[in-house]
């Protein structure tokens, strides 16, 4: 987990086939301004945005950074370390 301990919900394979419904169900317990969906396909970004989550695309997964950019994610990261830094910065308490 690269030192990140603030994950509240992780949604993966289960009986529900609709990714949008899975994301919305997970977000019921958390405000949308702190809900992020991390994915590695353009489809992930589209479905997460439809569900109301902020999107983080990771370029070391299934699709290339170029393809992911076309899906207009809120954030695009190119390494696990960059993802860790981003998550730490967006989850830092504000005063």
Domains of the chain, by residue range, sit at 19-90
Task: Tell me the CATH class for 19-90.
Answer: alpha beta
The answer to whether residues 44 and 70 touch, using CB atoms and an 8 Å cutoff, is no
Per-residue pLDDT in tens (0 to 9) along the chain, 95 residues = 455 555 555 666 566 678 898 888 888 877 777 788 999 999 999 999 999 999 999 999 999 999 999 999 999 999 999 999 998 888 766 55
Residue 48 CA to residue 68 CA, distance in Å, equals: 13
Whole-number CA gyration radius for the chain? 13
pTM above 0.85, yes or no: no
């Amino acid at each position: 987990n690269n030192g990140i301990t603030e994950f509240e919900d992780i949604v993966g394979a289960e009986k529900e086939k609709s990714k949008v419904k899975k994301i919305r169900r997970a977000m019921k317990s958390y405000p949308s301004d702190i809900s992020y969906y991390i994915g590695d396909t353009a489809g992930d970004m589209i479905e997460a945005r439809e569900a109301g989550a902020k999107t983080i695309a990771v370029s070391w997964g299934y699709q290339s950074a170029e393809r992911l950019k076309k899906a207009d994610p809120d954030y695009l990261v190119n390494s696990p370390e960059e993802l860790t830094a981003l998550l730490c910065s967006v989850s830092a308490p504000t005063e």
